[in-house]
Amino acid sequence: MPEPENAVQIDVKKIIQDFPVLDQEVHPGKKLIYLDSAATSQKPVQVTGAMTDYYHRANANIHRGIHALAETATDMYEGAREKVAFLINAATPSEIIYTRNTTESINLVASSWGRAGLKPGDLVILTEMEHHSNLVPWQMLAETIGIRLEFIPVSQDGLLDLQAYQLLLEEDPKLVAFMHMSNVLGTINPAQKIIQLAHQAGALTLVDGAQAVPHFPVDVQDLDADFYAFSSHKMLGPTGIGILYGKKHLLEAMPPYMGGGDMIKRVKLRSFAPNDLPHKFEAGTPAIAEAVGLGAAVDYLSAVGMHNVAAYEHHLTKYALDRLAEVPGVWVFGPEANQKGGVASFTFEGVHPHDVSQILDAEGIAVRAGHHCAMPLHEKFKINATSRASFYIYNTTAEIDRLIDGLYSVKKIFG
Ligand code: PMP
């Protein structure tokens, strides 16, 4: 018997009502079961409402206008930054840089810090489980500057090999860049330990927190992370805005990433003086309504409580892993429930993941199939693709039961 949902400290029924998109049939008689939140989360009315309210009440360009509306818009945009800073316990809001997404946050560090600070032959340590967004920017630096890349291996049960990591640390790395939680394996990496060891070896650290901040409490000061990247759209907020957290002294020493309006203090025909943090890294008119929406998403998650979010997702994940283990031919990748977040990537013996997804879709169940932007990891496991079900606070064990029923239909169809 599944643990009753109300045993965990969140009111799932009430939460579901905040997400109108969930209340629909995607095919006749087939109510939507959305199990693709690792790709992007759904948005509650509190978020869409905050964005609409901004446009109806306060739309103006920020920072530059000395009129009432511009001041309101600026306050809303900067207020959201304060909320994000509080959520991840940044020392000051000026350590929170708005970007477009996790990908841009990582590219910002690679372009600005990397180009200014790395020399040919310098070592950057990554892991074999990285998303392409934390691989390709470093590969581009390997091509242009000639930096060296090494990778912490992933074991068959989806964990990082920390002994191999310690050996790599003896090679004088300049940066260790790794994901906090894998979008494929669900593995929650021991970020604090990885960072501590990196610092002992004299390296800085960048954490890809795209799958972490939406799902469990993250404290960047406690972690002692140097850079930490994540996206609004995976944490109930809108698309088009992401975050780069960086320690103030590091961001201050870095050259601007893009040039243009707002990132300057003064401009002459042949020179410019960059603005203070965080504006130095926010050239041009930013995603203002999206920042307001992100602020509302942070409010929503904070009201639920990040510990409650994590506990509820753990309950769902454990239930899903137990039930998936019952289905003959299904193989789930990654560690056990106590070492992973709400992601279950699996193969189904003899059936292509795209076919699995298509049959599930006909039942109204949205899961993702493919390499999930982690081709090297799939190669490591000698597969081309997996099907991935991922969970968030609006999912229930009843929906996981429907997923399992759907997988039995797959089995019936493919014999
Ligand atoms: N890293 C991880 C772990 C992810 O899951 C994702 C999104 N799939 C990204 C980075 C990239 O996020 P975005 O597309 O929002 O830049």
Distance, CA of 11 to CA of 304 (rounded, Å): 9
**The CATH number of the domain covering residues in 48-303:** 3.40.640.10
Domain 5-31+306-414 has CATH 1.20.140.10: no
Pocket test for ligand 1, best of 126, 131, 227 (most atoms within 8 A of CB): 131
Any atom of ligand 1 within 6 Å of the Cβ of 205: no
What lies within 8 Å, CB to CB, of 355 at 6+ separation is: 410, 414
Q: What would the DSSP string read from start to end of 58-118? A: T---SSS--SHHHHHHHHHHHHHHHHHHHHHT-SSGGGEEEESSHHHHHHHIIIIIIHHH-
Point out which residues pair with 330 in neighbouring strands.
Answer: 348
pLDDT at 27 over 60: yes
Please give the structure tokens belonging to residue 21: 């998109």
Question: Alpha-carbon distance 152 to 12, whole Å?
Answer: 38
Specify the DSSP class assigned to residue 328.
Answer: T
- Give the residue numbers annotated as catalytic, written as ranges: 373
- Alpha-carbon distance of 304 to 302, in angstroms, equals 5
Length of the chain: 415
Buried b (16+ CB within 10 A) or exposed e, 287-326: bbbbbbbbbbbbbbbeebebebbbebbbbbbbbbbebbee
The pLDDT, as a whole number, for residue 64 is 76
Domain ranges of the chain: 5-31+306-414, 48-303
102 lines ligand 1 (CB under 6 A): yes
The rounded Å distance from CA 102 to ligand 1 centre is 6
Q: Which protein residue has the closest C-alpha to ligand 1 atom 6?
A: 210
Helix, strand, coil shares of the chain as percentages rounded to 5? 45, 20, 35
- The answer to whether 194 and 176 are in contact (CB under 8 A) is yes
Whether 3 has a pLDDT exceeding 80, the answer reads: no
Give the pLDDT mean for 349-357. Answer: 95
What's the token pair of residue 367? 């899961």
Which of 36, 98, 103, 132 should be mutated for ligand 1, with most atoms under 8 A from CB? 103
Which residues does residue 412 pair with via DSSP β-bridges, in sequence order? Answer: none
Tokens representing 52 are: 């609409």
- The rounded percent of the chain whose pLDDT value lies above 90 is 96
Asked, colleague to colleague, whether 5-31+306-414 and 48-303 share their fold, the answer is no
Q: Please work out whether the CB of residue 183 comes within 6 Å of at least one atom of ligand 1.
A: yes
Residue written as tokens 């949902």? 5
Cα 357 from Cα 359, distance rounded (Å): 6
Give me the chain's average pLDDT, please.
Answer: 96
Reported as a pLDDT band with limits 50, 70 and 90, residue 100 is very high
Averaged pLDDT, 133-141:
98
| pLDDT attached to residue 6 | 58
Residues 117-130 pLDDT 10s = 999 999 999 999 99
